[in-house]
Structure 1
Amino acid sequence: MPRLTHDRITWLTYAQLGVWGFFLYGFGPVVPLLRDEQDTSAAVASLHSTSLAVGALIGGFLFPVLARRIGRGRTLWLSLAGIAVGAAALSILRPLPATLTAVVVAATFGTMAVCGVNTALTEHHRAAAPAAISEANAACAGMGILAPIVIGLAVGAGIGWRPALAVEVGLIALVALAAVVFRVRLPQGTTAAAAAGSRSGRLPRAYWIAWALMGLTGSIEVCLSLWSADVLRSHAGMSPGGASAALSSIVGGMFLGRLVGGRIALRVAPVPLLLAALTVSMVGFLVFWASPIGWIAVGGLTILGLGNAMHYPLAISIALAAAQGQADRAAGYSSYSMAVGFGIAPVVLGWVADGVGPHLAFLILPGFIVVAALLVLRLGRLLRPHPTAPSPATPARV
């Protein structure tokens, strides 16, 4: 059984992903507040979400280039500096073009930070990488619970959301200070010469199946984030405020699932654990979708969060392990799948919801789960070790 060692490099990468989580999960509550400030329509305000997808595409392209040129460790610190710039700009600037640009900047460098943390943990922990990546994403989700609370308290106190979001800059400064005080140096990763020799190689089929899997599971997450409150209002009879607050149950479930799942990942292989996680997600969806009672539907969302918790950590672990020495390029490409899922799935679900209502439209999600499970089964067959054929010089035993 692999052993996960929590050394200084591990804790530092957890903190680096955690500070990105503060911005990412704090961004959701900020969008409607920006809409009120800028006096725009919901469609125009949603361009801020589109900016996240644009930043993910740019960051996915830039990460392997920068990791090859300046090293993975320096790229990670550059990423945190870029997140700080984007968060500060969003906290200060008010015109719509400026806030859209700020989100693109933050998302670009945030995506690079995610890629850097995933590849650093994969290289540093090897067989224990799925557990380490799961715990790192638990830190991200944990900050995701904290960020909306900080923003809500700031708005309630009358100081507005901008000072609360600017806390991101202070958090990044604290992480950098801790790295200096405790003298933690991140590994630089693949050398430029080695990376140059591998970047023209083709990524294997197992990687691309894992790539598609990340797009599907990312689609499930974003659809739940954007549309489940509507289902809670229309089907479970919850108030708008209660339905919006109930979304924290998904993040809470993800935090707990990733924390516990990291331990389980040390004992269970990624493919069967991912199938189990998809099964839990399906059970949670059925409870959420079928119940006309608010607290039961919210319980279903919590179960969904528990299952969804392990989708991304396990899929990216499989993808990077299958990349065969091209981890930086593979991590960069993985952000494209998430951007595609985030950009297309909510639009499709919204289009269907316009015709049949959000409750029936949500039946798209179990379809995503079933297709994801089929992809995991295919991965299991591809990654299964093949028995070694007996050598002609050594007769096989009868």
Structure 2
Amino acid sequence: MEAKTSQEPTKIKRGWKVWLVYFMLAFFSYILNVAGPAVAYLRDEINLSFTQSGLHTSALALGLIAMGIFGHFALKRLPEWKALGIGGIGMGLGGLLLVLGNQPAMTLTGLFIMGAVGAFIVATNPAILADEMGNRSPIGVSEANTLSSLLSILAPVAVGFFASRAVTWRPAVYIVTTLAFLIGVWILVAPQFSWKITKSREFEFTKNNKLPGKVWLFWTVLVISVSIEFCLIYWASDYLQAHLAMTKDSATQWVSLFLVGMVIGRYAGSLLLKKYDRFLILFASLAIGALGYAIFWLSGSQVVALIGLLLAGLGVANFYATSITLIFDAAGPARAAAGSVATLASGVAIFSLPFVLGSLADLIGIQKAMLVVAVLFVIQAILLLYGKKMIDENTA
């Protein structure tokens, strides 16, 4: 009897609603990672330049930015579950425009809608998991993001698979977006999900608390972290094709090695952070990521370059989560405001840097343009050294 009682606190409630949130977040993460490989095929179909391709990936991020700035007003008036459902519907409608579009205006609009409306899923899942799992919700958030990482690995593989074995790459997009749409419609109409707004708003944005200056230092670290990640996700395939003569289908699928490295790195990082200082983990990750990138960029062998890509993912994996904790610690009591600017950081990074890299590729070629990533690694190292110095001085 006592043994059973002692084990009860360790039990985690994962009802069907929890799994529903897990998969909706995983679907959105999948879409973030499927955009780059899909646009690589769109470029040939509707004659896009590298600059226009970069603009497509930026459209998705611009939607995230719009959600980060204006979404708060809608979230105050919607129950979290209904907002989640609207996010699924937005993914479905945006995905439809993307796969049916035969001109940039349609495909750009589709990606923007998926980013802006689909981001409701990101904004609401922590609050829903708190309602469903209570004080075990942090475990739920971690599990949801782990599933998201695993599903993201399939994105480039699915695009390459359908492109090589089916008529088109499009099923890799519309299978997932259609599922999200159907679930979203069901959430909106099903009586199990109430339209009543609860008084508890633990995850609302805070407007009254000003953020200290060091928050913006670590915000910049986060922007660069996400920029490195998505520059490699979006442009590694083109680099492998242009520099190492890899076929488009193979290059698109092998980019998943970067995501495999990220999954392994995130799991290892979650264990190491329990024992070691965050900055030690960040500097070690930076070294591994930079080494992997250098091998990837310098190698003339496909196999060696892919090993470098795997190592780069292993290192980059811990940038995001660790940078987030630094932002929240620096923010002090203004944690909701910190969450808002962290969301904007992701949108700004995905919006700007892949587009800049694509524009440079049009001017100087993809190989030289990829040196943008090397510059980002250097800036990241400088900012982290300065940030650690600031924290050490404050604690001295």
TM-score by length of 1: 0.77
1:165 corresponds in structure 2 to 173
Is this contact kept in 1: 2:85–2:184, CA < 8 A? no
**1:230 CA drift (Å):** 4.7
User: What's the CA shift string for 1:35-54, capped at 9, x where partnerless?
Assistant: 44445555445432231132
Match of 2:273 among 257, 265, 280: 265
User: What's the CA shift string for 1:57-111, capped at 9, x where partnerless?
Assistant: 1111133333444355554443233223322443455454233222111011233
Between the aligned residues of both structures, percent identity stands at 26
Matches within 5 A, 1:96-111: 96-111=104-119
Matches of 1:141 and 1:117, distance apart in 2: 16
Alignment-mate amino acid for residue 269 of structure 2: G
**1:234 CA drift (Å):** 5.3
Matches within 5 A, 1:51-90: 51-70=59-78, 72=80, 74-90=82-98
Matches of 1:353 and 1:17, distance apart in 2: 32
Matches of 1:384 and 1:10, distance apart in 2: 40
Matches of 1:350 and 1:42, distance apart in 2: 5
- Does residue 19 of structure 1 match 2:27? yes
* Mean Cα deviation higher: 316-325 or 208-217: 316-325
2:218 corresponds in structure 1 to 210
* Secondary structure in structure 2 of the residue aligned to 1:166: helix
Is this contact kept in 2: 1:25–1:148, CA < 8 A? yes
> Alpha carbons of 1:47 and 1:283: their partners in 2 closer, same or farther (altered >3 Å)?
closer
**1:192 CA drift (Å):** 6.0
1:316 corresponds in structure 2 to 324
Matches of 1:203 and 1:382, distance apart in 2: 16
In structure 2, list runs of 5 or more residues that go unmatched: 1-8
**1:171 CA drift (Å):** 3.7
- Does residue 220 of structure 1 match 2:228? yes
> Alpha carbons of 1:379 and 1:191: their partners in 2 closer, same or farther (altered >3 Å)?
farther
- Does residue 47 of structure 1 match 2:55? yes
Matches of 1:156 and 1:195, distance apart in 2: 45
Is this contact kept in 2: 1:223–1:345, CA < 8 A? yes
* Secondary structure in structure 2 of the residue aligned to 1:373: helix
Matches of 1:13 and 1:287, distance apart in 2: 38
Matches of 1:156 and 1:194, distance apart in 2: 44
* Mean Cα deviation higher: 168-177 or 281-290: 168-177
**1:19 CA drift (Å):** 1.0
Is this contact kept in 1: 2:72–2:204, CA < 8 A? no
Alignment-mate amino acid for residue 375 of structure 1: L
* Secondary structure in structure 2 of the residue aligned to 1:203: coil
* Mean Cα deviation higher: 230-239 or 47-56: 230-239
Is this contact kept in 1: 2:27–2:176, CA < 8 A? yes
Matches of 1:174 and 1:105, distance apart in 2: 17
1:146 corresponds in structure 2 to 154
Matches within 5 A, 1:105-124: 105-117=113-125
Matches of 2:113 and 2:394, distance apart in 1: 45
> Alpha carbons of 1:337 and 1:228: their partners in 2 closer, same or farther (altered >3 Å)?
same
Alignment-mate amino acid for residue 33 of structure 2: Y
Matches of 1:92 and 1:168, distance apart in 2: 15
Alignment-mate amino acid for residue 331 of structure 1: G
Matches of 1:384 and 1:125, distance apart in 2: 35
RMSD: 4.2
Alignment-mate amino acid for residue 53 of structure 1: A
> Alpha carbons of 1:153 and 1:282: their partners in 2 closer, same or farther (altered >3 Å)?
closer
Is this contact kept in 1: 2:59–2:351, CA < 8 A? no
> Alpha carbons of 1:302 and 1:270: their partners in 2 closer, same or farther (altered >3 Å)?
same
Alignment-mate amino acid for residue 98 of structure 1: M
> Alpha carbons of 1:30 and 1:4: their partners in 2 closer, same or farther (altered >3 Å)?
farther
1:296 corresponds in structure 2 to 304
Is this contact kept in 2: 1:128–1:266, CA < 8 A? no
Is this contact kept in 2: 1:281–1:305, CA < 8 A? yes
**1:34 CA drift (Å):** 3.3
Alignment-mate amino acid for residue 232 of structure 2: L
**1:213 CA drift (Å):** 1.0
Is this contact kept in 2: 1:257–1:310, CA < 8 A? yes
2:383 corresponds in structure 1 to 375
* Mean Cα deviation higher: 238-247 or 94-103: 238-247
Matches of 2:224 and 2:24, distance apart in 1: 26
User: What's the CA shift string for 1:206-257, capped at 9, x where partnerless?
Assistant: 3222211111112212322343345445554545554443322112211222
Matches of 1:273 and 1:98, distance apart in 2: 43
**1:360 CA drift (Å):** 4.5
Is this contact kept in 2: 1:134–1:259, CA < 8 A? no
Matches of 1:121 and 1:205, distance apart in 2: 31
Matches of 1:93 and 1:15, distance apart in 2: 27
2:341 corresponds in structure 1 to 333
**1:307 CA drift (Å):** 0.9
- Does residue 342 of structure 1 match 2:350? yes
Is this contact kept in 2: 1:237–1:293, CA < 8 A? no
Is this contact kept in 1: 2:22–2:147, CA < 8 A? yes
> Alpha carbons of 1:367 and 1:97: their partners in 2 closer, same or farther (altered >3 Å)?
closer
